[in-house]
Structure 1
Amino acid sequence: MTTALLTHADCLAHVTPAGHPEQVARLEAVLEALAPLDLLRSDAPLAEEAAILRAHPAHYLARLRAALPQDGGRALDSDTWLSPGSLDAAFRAAGAVVRAVDMVIAGEAGNAFCATRPPGHHAERETAMGFCLFSNVAIGVKHALDHHGLSRVAVVDFDVHHGNGTQDILWDEARALMISSHQVPLYPGTGNAQERGAHGNILNLPLAPGSGGALMRREYERQVFPRLRDFAPELILISAGFDAHRADPLAQLDWTEDDFAWVTRGICAVAAETCGGRVVSALEGGYDLGALAASVRAHVQELMKAAK
C-alpha cells in the first residue's frame, strides 16, 4: 500500500491580501517539499454540493456564493477573505478529503494527505472564520459515516488553534470522536477541557504557551492515544496544522519537526491497531514557510512508513 497525495492548482487561486499569513506561498512551499517523495498523486475533485450540505446548511453556501467577488477581494471578517477563485479552491479542499476517504476505505491507498487550501477547522456550521470557508475534515467525517456507513470515526486536530468549527459540527454526532490539542490562551478562545460534546464525544487538550513538545507527548500518551483506542475508530482523520512549530509567528507552543513526526507516528500506530491503518490527513495551519515545509514533509514521511 502507499500514501496518496491529493491537491489541485485551483487551491493556488484563493488569493489573500499582501501580508496575510494564509497565503498562496504556503501551498507552494508544501508541494515543493513533497515533490521528491514517492506518493500516489491524485487531483482533488470539486466536492459535490451534497457533501458540503452534510456539514453546512444550504443558506450558508448561498451566502458564500453571493459574497464571492468578480474581481479583487472581499473580507468576510478581519481574517477571512474571498477572491474570485476562493470558492473553487474551497470546493477542491473539501473534495480532496472526501476523495481521500473514498480511496482509503476502498483500499486504493493505505492512507492519504490532502495538500489544499483554504484550511477548514475554524469554519462553523454557519460561519466562515479563521481563514476557513468549509469545515473540510468534518465534511470528510460525515461522508464516511453517512455515505460509507461507518459507525465510528475519529478526528485528531493538532493545529495550534482549537478546531472550533469541527467541534461545532460534530458536537451532536455520537458516531464521531473529536480530539483537539491547542494553545490556550489563543484564538479563537474556545476549546477548554469542560467542552465535552453532547455525547461526551469531544476531548479538548489545552496546552500552555511555551510548554513544548515534551509536555505534548506526555499528554498524548496519557489522554489522547488511550481515548482513541477505547473508541476503536474505523477511520481516523487528522487536522494537520503545523503552527505549533517554534518558528511560527502566530503562536508559542515551541514544537519541532520531530514532534510532528512523533504525534503522526502515534496516531498511525493506533490506526494500525483499530482500523487497518486507515488515516486521512488534511492541511490546516502553519505560517512560517520553512517550518511548514519541513514539518509537512516529516508528517507525510511518517504516513508513508505506516502505509507500507
Structure 2
Amino acid sequence: MSTAFFTDPACLTHVTPDGHPERVARLNVVLDALAPLELDRRDSQPAPEAELLRCHPQDYVDRIRQAIPASGQEQLDADTWLSPGSWDAALGGLGALLAALDTVLAGEARNAFAAIRPPGHHAETATPMGFCLFGNVAIAAKRALDHHGLERVAVLDFDVHHGNGTQDLLQSDPRALFVSSHQFPLWPGTGRAEETGPHGTILNLPLPPGTQGAEFRDAWDSVVFPRLDDFRPELILVSAGFDAHVDDPLAQLALTEEDFVWITRRICETADRHCAGRVVSVLEGGYNLDALAASALAHVRVLMEQGA
C-alpha cells in the first residue's frame, strides 16, 4: 500500500488579499512538490454541512456561510478573510480530510495526507481566527470517535503557532489527546504548559524563540512520545504545519526539513506500535514557499516509506 493522497481544487478558490501570507500559492507549491511522487491519489466529495456540526454550532456555520461575499473579499478579523470561493474551499478541503480518514480506517491505506486550505487549527467553537474558518482536524477526530467508534484518538500539532482552536474543540472530550508544540510567546498567546484541559488530555510544549532541532526533538522524545505510549491511540491525526522552519517569516523557531523527517518517522513508529500504522496528516501552516514545498515533500516521503 502507498500513502493515500487527497486534495480538492476548490481549495484554490479561497483567495486572500495581495500580500497575505495564507495565499493560493501555498497549495500550488505543495501540489507541485508532490506531483512526481507515486502516491495513491484519490478523489473526494465536499463534506456535508452536518460534519461541521460535530464541532461548531449551527448559528456559527450559518454566520460564516452568510458572510461569503458575492465578489471581492470580506474581512472577518485582522487576519482572516473570505472570498466568493471560500465556502466551497472549506467544505472541499474538509471533505478531502474526511475521505483520507475514512480510507485509512477502512484499511485501504496505512496512512494518508490531505493537502488543503484554508487551514483549521485556530478556528474555535464559534470564532474564526488565524486564517481558519472551521476546525478541520478536530472534526476529523470527532468523526473517528463518533462515526467510526474509536475509543482513543491523538491529534499531534507541530505547527509553530499553538493549535488553540483544536484545543478548544477537543478539550472536553476525554477520548481525544491533543498535543501541540509551538513557539511561545507568539500569537495567539495560548498554549502554556499548565493548560491541560478538564480531563488532562491537553499537552502543550511551549518552545522559546530560536529553538533548534535538537531541543525540539528532545522535547518530543522526553514528553510527548511517552505520553502517547501511555494513551495508546487507535489513530493518530497530524496537524502538519511547516512554519517552524528556520526560513519561515512569521515566527522564530529554527527547524529544518530533517526535523520534519524525524518527527514524521517517530509519529509513524508510534502508530506502528499502537494502531497498525494509522496516521492521517493534514496541511496547516507554512509561509515561505520554498521551505513549505521542501518540508511537505520531506514529510510525505516519510509517510510513503512508513506506509509501504
> TM-score when scaled to structure 2?
0.99
Q: Does 1:165 find its partner at 2:165? A: yes
Equivalent position of 1:36 in the other structure? 36
Equivalent position of 2:275 in the other structure? 275
3-state SS, counterpart of residue 43 of structure 1: coil
Equivalent position of 1:224 in the other structure? 224
Hey, what's the Cα distance between the residues in 2 that align with 1:233 and 1:167?
17
Equivalent position amino acid for 2:93 in 1: A
**Cα contact 1:94–1:135 (8 A) shared by 2:** no
Equivalent position of 2:67 in the other structure? 67
Identity %: 64
Equivalent position of 1:114 in the other structure? 114
Equivalent position of 1:130 in the other structure? 130
Alpha-carbon deviations, 1:33-72, whole Å to 9, x = none?
0000000112332111121100111000000011110000
Equivalent position of 1:206 in the other structure? 206
Equivalent position of 2:178 in the other structure? 178
**Cα contact 2:10–2:93 (8 A) shared by 1:** no
Equivalent position amino acid for 1:149 in 2: G
Equivalent position amino acid for 2:159 in 1: D
Hey, what's the Cα distance between the residues in 2 that align with 1:268 and 1:172?
26
Hey, what's the Cα distance between the residues in 2 that align with 1:44 and 1:129?
26
Hey, what's the Cα distance between the residues in 2 that align with 1:110 and 1:41?
14
Equivalent position of 2:155 in the other structure? 155
Equivalent position amino acid for 2:155 in 1: V
The two structures, once aligned, show a CA RMSD in angstroms of 0.6
Equivalent position of 2:7 in the other structure? 7
Equivalent position amino acid for 1:123 in 2: A
Equivalent position amino acid for 2:33 in 1: A
Equivalent position amino acid for 1:47 in 2: A
Hey, what's the Cα distance between the residues in 2 that align with 1:86 and 1:44?
17
Hey, what's the Cα distance between the residues in 2 that align with 1:14 and 1:306?
32
3-state SS, counterpart of residue 281 of structure 1: strand
The number of residues matched between the two structures is 308
**Cα contact 1:44–1:93 (8 A) shared by 2:** no
**Cα contact 2:125–2:168 (8 A) shared by 1:** yes
3-state SS, counterpart of residue 109 of structure 1: coil
Equivalent position amino acid for 1:202 in 2: I
Hey, what's the Cα distance between the residues in 1 that align with 2:44 and 2:74?
25
Gaps of 5+ in 2: none
> TM-score when scaled to structure 1?
0.99
Alpha-carbon deviations, 1:262-295, whole Å to 9, x = none?
0000000000000000000000000000000000
**Cα contact 1:45–1:96 (8 A) shared by 2:** yes
**Cα contact 2:211–2:254 (8 A) shared by 1:** yes
Alpha-carbon shift at residue 108 of structure 1 (Å): 1.2
Hey, what's the Cα distance between the residues in 1 that align with 2:277 and 2:172?
26
Gaps of 5+ in 1: none
**Cα contact 1:122–1:129 (8 A) shared by 2:** yes
Instruction: Please identify, of 199-208 and 88-97, the stretch whose mean Cα deviation from structure 2 is larger.
Output: 88-97
- Counting only pairs closer than 5 Å after superposition, residues 210-289 of structure 1 correspond to structure 2 as 210-289=210-289
Alpha-carbon deviations, 1:157-179, whole Å to 9, x = none?
00000000000000100000000
Equivalent position amino acid for 2:109 in 1: A
